[in-house]
Amino acid sequence: MWTDEQLLGQGWTQEQIDQWRIDQGIQVEHVSAIDTQTNALPEIVESKLGSVDTGAATFLHNKTQMILVVCMLIVAPLSLYSSLFGQGPQGPAGQEGQQGENGTAGSSFHLVQSSSDLPYCDESLQNQIFFVANDSGFAVCQNGNYFSVDLTGPRGDSGLNGTDGNDGVNGTDGTNGSNGQDGNDGTDGTDGIDGQDGSNGADGSDGLTSIIVSSIEPNGVNCPDGGTRIDTGIDDNGDGALGTGEIDDSIFVCNGADGNDGSDGTNGSSTSTMMVATLTIAPSYLGCNGTGQLLQQGLDDGSGGGTPQNGILEAGEILTSSLICTTFSVSQVVDMNIGTGNSAPSNFVTVNSTMYFTASAGGSAELWSLDTNGTLTSVYSGTVLGLQAVGSHLMFLGSDASAGLEPWIFNPSNTTAWRIADINPGTSGSFAGQFTLLGTTVYFSARDGAGVFDLWAYEQSNSSVWKVDDGSGPLEIVVVGSHVYYATSNELRMYNTTSSTSYDIDINPGPLASSPSSLVVMGTTIYMSANDGSVGKELQAYETTNNSTWTAADIRTGVAASSPSYITVMGTRLYMQATSGSYFELWVYDIVNNSFWEVSNIQSTSGSNGPEDLTAYQYTIYFSANDGTTGEELWAHHAVNGTTWQVVDLDPSGGYVGEIYLHEGNIFFASQDGTTGIELWQLIFSRTVTFV
């Protein structure tokens, strides 16, 4: 702000100065912000711009001096320019002065509020500079146009950082407030009304029976000196017997090695009146078809040259001989398709002592049941193919209009049937079959497209269905322990249920196939008809516990094949149809001594229809065969004395025997008598005792 001395020097009176300061009092705060160094600026500007000597025009046309003036104006605050060039306070009227001489051109620097306030640029304003307050910049009039003037100088060096201030002292913690008083406990609500009892759940299905079976274990790998084999498992098919496919575990109680012979005991005594007896298999000449027993009795008196009182019934001592003979007769169960039409019963299975099978009563084939009272009932009229028992249910290849031939399941307890999955979408059908139960899971063969079949699984507990082994092509499926084994067109294959992996068991090493078929299980060993590449298609064995394979019986020596089929287990023996090169006959293989031999001579006279549909019951193998005279009929072979005979000649004009099935100690089979067509027949056993 100008000092009094500066204003006095400009011709102000003290009274004018005082009045001006009073008028400017509202701006004192703004003016006081200007430091004393700026007080000299008006004098410099005045000396440069306000002089009226003759050098002013020269100054205005000197660009260097003009830039210097503008730079000085930038440094000064706008308030200073406002004070410098703005109109001052109205002073007292002075005495009229004398007319002065005309002055030279005034200052070339002007102040405007905005660019719109700039006057028209013409020759009178040539090179005049205007400070535009709103833009905080300068404009110069040259040649009829205004040009912006950038007078920004270079950026100065950054100032030094100030020193950090000292941390303040932490305040003291305030005291904790006192705890509020506990509120009063609310009153207990009233008890809600008891809900209604839920309805009783449906009865669960009957559990499966656990069975323990013991048998004599011959001398061999398991027991060098023989012993007892104990098999345990679940009666999955409910037939009251532990089938080979139902064995879950086997243990062996082996005999110890023979000890030293003891000393002879004192001979026992007998009397001449002591009765002794023997019971033996009746010889075949007695005409009992190898199923009879001969009971002989006598006194141990030494008659006929015998030794008296030795406790042995000798030939001369025999007084009586009784033939206990089991005889056979057949009876038609029912003529289902009355007249000469065929009901063609087949697909026999047993669930909970009831036999199920498919047959036609004049229309399409239906599912029938035969209970323990002999009551025959049609239980399902839909398509049923490849029927098999899986625990307490039945599975089969069924059909409906939307899905074609797909896997179905039947519940005998409520006679309902349903499709478990549409594996091959559309009506083409998956042609599922070979339903085999392991635990609660059913494994089967099916296709989900044209061509190759895969191994599939159905879990009964949650009704889920999934593919197990893609493209494997299962043809026959058996179960040993916790694993699934299946024959393919190439090799025997195994699915490990623990690791969910599958691999081939290479019976015929190399690129050629072994083509296994007719798989049966005996303990932990799988027997089959297969080609190992050296002896042709013969009886082969695979031990599941050590992954070993071997030829059990080379019936037709050399590379030619005996082609075993219909392999059936009875005790320690395997019965089968095979050929030694001429005809297909009944053969047997004994695992006790690894021996094998031919047991029938039926086809040598017929040349066709060798033993088929082999079924074992007690010590007898039942099968169908054609002797060339009576046509195809029911035959039997007794394992103890080796006799073979025709059980019955139902149709002397030709004959036919279909499936043979053992159910609840009875032999059922499909056959014809030349009058009623192919119907369901039953073999009836009876015993007679005669003295011989």
DSSP code for 72: H
Measured in degrees and rounded to the nearest 5, phi and psi for residue 454 equal -125, 165
Return the higher-pLDDT residue of 35 and 342.
342
In this prediction, residues 133-154 reach a mean pLDDT of 83
pTM: 0.59
**How many residues in the chain?**
692
Q: In angstroms, rounded to a whole number, what is the distance separating the alpha carbons of residues 46 and 51?
A: 7
Tell me, what's the pLDDT at 202? 76
Distance CA 526, CA 639 (A): 22
Mean pLDDT of the chain: 82
Condensed to tens digits (0 to 9), the pLDDT of residues 382-399 reads 999 999 999 999 999 999
- Residue 581 has a pLDDT of 87
Q: Which residue has the higher pLDDT, 54 or 494?
A: 494
Q: Has residue 400 got a pLDDT over 70?
A: yes
Buried b (16+ CB within 10 A) or exposed e, 615-646: bbbeebbbbbbbbeebbbbbbbbbbebebbee
Give the CA distances from residue 63 to residues 8, 15, 58, 395, in Å, rounded to whole numbers and listed in that order.
34, 42, 10, 113
- pLDDT value of position 41: 36
Rounded Cα gap, residues 343 and 368, in angstroms: 11
Backbone angles phi, psi at 25, to 5 degrees: -60, -30
Q: What is the distance of C-alpha 397 from the center of its chain? A: 23
More confident position, 545 or 230: 545
* Of 33 and 542, more confident: 542
Cα distance between residue 60 and residue 677, in whole Å: 141
Q: How far is CA 389 from CA 101, 262, 442, 518, in A?
A: 140, 54, 10, 19
Domain spans of the chain, in order of start: 34-85+106-149, 210-254
Q: Are 402 and 388 in contact (CB under 8 A)?
A: no
> H or E segment at 679?
strand 679-691
Decide if pLDDT at 155 tops 90. Answer: no
Beta bridge partners of 539: 529, 553
Give the residue with greater pLDDT, 185 vs 337.
Answer: 337
pLDDT > 90? residue 173: no
Give the helix/strand (H/E) hosting 521. Answer: strand 517-522
Across 22-26, 67-71, 263-267, 652-656, the highest mean pLDDT is recorded for: 652-656
Cα gap 334→271, rounded to integer Å = 59
Task: Quickly state the pLDDT bin for 75 (edges 50, 70, 90).
Answer: very low
